[in-house]
Amino acid sequence: MMHMSARCASIMFTIFVNILQIRKIHARNPISHIIMSAIQTNPQSPNNGKKKFDFLDNLRTTYHHQPVFLQAVEEMALAIEPLFHDPANGDFYRKAFLYLTEPERTISFHVPWEDDEGKQHVNRGWRVEFSSALGPYKGGLRFHPTVNDGILKFLGFEQIFKNALTGLPLGGGKGGSDFDPKGKSEAEIRRFCESFMTQLHRYVGVSTDVPAGDIGVGGREIGYMNGQYKLLSNKHGEGILTGKSPLFGGIELRPEATGFGTVYIAQQAIEDKLKRSLEGSRCAVSGSGNVAQYASRMLIDLGAKVVSISDSDGCLVFENGMTNDDWDKFVEAKQVKYARLSTLDAAVSGKYIPGGSPWVLPDLEVDFAFPSATQNEIDKDGASLLMKKGVMGVFEGANLPVTLEGQDVLRANPKVVYVPGKAANAGGVGVSGLEMSQNASRTYWKREKVDIMLKEMMADIYQQMKEGAGEDGTLEQGCNRAGFLKVAHA
């Protein structure tokens, strides 16, 4: 065991050193040449409707009951379509893509737990281990009543390519349960987390599968599960979960990483493509979890005006922009009190709109959109309203927050800078990968160092998108092409 730990530490420390030179590594990568060759030979054909890619027909039939998963597959296929028609390698790319649509392993289990009144309950749990081509499975755990195997397949499929863009040796996976933490006591959540890890612990490991948090799973839940893993395995400090508290092996900046990273890449894209700054811009943010909280924080720090946040019950609108005091109260409500945004109506400068979403409010002026709540929150009508308002950029803090029809609206407006979640929210898993490195090398990195590495990582992902897009492609296409090719050629 001591020998294996030293070997892991050596490998992961090498990864850490290499990430500081990640741009140089990618400069030597032939992937950009592969993309350019395929695009020049087979330009992106217009997205003129449904039922393209007949080689996916069997997949569509088999998983017709998993529409969000199929949506993620179709979106990816559209972006990399020129590769499928490449004269030399098109058949290989089609087969590789089809191969990647099936998880390597799907684990399902029951999760029994007891409420505070002594009543027994049983929820369903899953871990979808999608691809280990680049490294151990890596992806979050989601606790939400909408979770099912189809939702987790969509998230795991997206995770493959997102992780590839980080430059770290990470495979793709996702897991979770249909357990609803809302309204549960601290003790009930702890008992559920312990039961969930009792089922999951035999399938995870530092070189096998390293889960993290997601919707409904934050530092508290990760802490409960980490404690249960130690109890069951008698292994300490292994780093089989990321998103831990820095008090027991977590990395600084991990809670902030996804939101900060989304804003960092948005800043790069806005300055590069639009030749302007975020300062003074009106930015609509949806959601109220970690991504929304820290995207809002960084936007405020950069001088932007955050004009909205939301939860499943409604939306807070800040016509003059969220203040620092507003942000403090918002974070306290969500991280300490676990309260709904409606409780802040009289406490902050914003106005609460019950049942509302930033994407359906006709009078809310917006320059840039940061959908950071959940999948499919912006539909065709929401995207059309954003275009009518003159929105200049959409940056996905959440996974697949725009429906296929909504994406078509964005693609029909090529002047709009659109950065999909695989790139925009990759900072979270990127810093999780750094947490794995930190755990393996038995060291500790200061917040400032992690922030520098996060900025470097997001800058490199943006460069990969530009190279993948070629001369005439979009950042969305470039993102998907670069991620796919890295995995396919592994």
Task: Give the pLDDT score at 292.
Answer: 98
Q: What is the mean pLDDT of residues 47-67?
A: 85
Residue 424 near residue 448 (C-beta atoms within 8 A): no
Task: Give the pLDDT score at 471.
Answer: 85
Task: Give the pLDDT score at 22.
Answer: 40
Is 47's pLDDT higher than 60? no
HSE-CB of 270 using CA atoms within 13 angstroms: 24
Instruction: Report the alpha-carbon distance of residue 6 to residue 450 in Å, rounded.
Output: 23
Catalytic residue among 174, 244, 329, 466: 174
For 15, phi then psi, to 5°, come to -60, -45
Task: Give the pLDDT score at 238.
Answer: 85
DSSP, residue by residue, 14-60: HHHHHHTTHHHHHHT-THHHHHHHHHHHSPPPP--SS---GGGHHHH
Worst-scoring range by mean pLDDT, 50-54, 259-263, 355-359?
A: 50-54
8-state DSSP, 344: G
Copy the structure tokens of residue 398.
């959440």
Single out the residue of 150, 162, 163, 160 nearest to residue 130, CA to CA: 160
Single out the residue of 45, 176, 171, 51 nearest to residue 100, CA to CA: 171
Question: Cα dihedral sign for 387, 459, 256, 398?
Answer: positive
Task: Give the pLDDT score at 65.
Answer: 97
User: Does the active-site annotation cover 174?
Assistant: yes
Query: Count of CB atoms within 10 A of residue 309's CB?
Result: 31
Task: Give the pLDDT score at 52.
Answer: 87
Worst-scoring range by mean pLDDT, 32-41, 127-136, 236-245, 291-300?
A: 32-41
What ranges in 304-446 are assigned the alpha helix state H? 324-331, 380-388, 404-411, 421-424, 426-440
The strand pairing partners of 73, in sequence order, are: none
pTM over 0.85: yes
Task: Give the pLDDT score at 34.
Answer: 56
Q: What is the mean pLDDT of residues 164-188?
A: 97
Q: Give buried/exposed letters for 290-300 (b at 16+ CB in 10 A, else e).
A: bbbbbbbbbbb
Average pLDDT over the chain reads 91
Instruction: Report the alpha-carbon distance of residue 36 to residue 31 in Å, rounded.
Output: 9
Task: Give the pLDDT score at 105.
Answer: 97
Tell me the chain's radius of gyration from C-alpha atoms: 21
Helix, strand, coil percentages in the chain from 3-state DSSP, rounded to 5:
50, 15, 35
Quote the crossing angle between the two packed helices 186-200 and 219-233, to the nearest 10°. 50
Task: Give the pLDDT score at 33.
Answer: 55
Q: What is the mean pLDDT of residues 440-460?
A: 96
- Tens of pLDDT along 204-263? 999 999 999 999 999 999 999 999 999 999 998 889 999 999 999 999 999 999 999 999
For 133, phi then psi, to 5°, come to -60, -40
- Tens of pLDDT along 144-168? 999 999 999 999 999 999 999 999 9
Tell me the CA distances in angstroms from 485 to 80, 134, 137, 156, 420, one per residue in order: 9, 12, 18, 17, 17
Helix (H, G, I), strand (E, B) or coil at 310: strand
Q: What is the mean pLDDT of residues 447-464?
A: 97
Helix (H, G, I), strand (E, B) or coil at 293: helix
Higher pLDDT, 32 or 354: 354
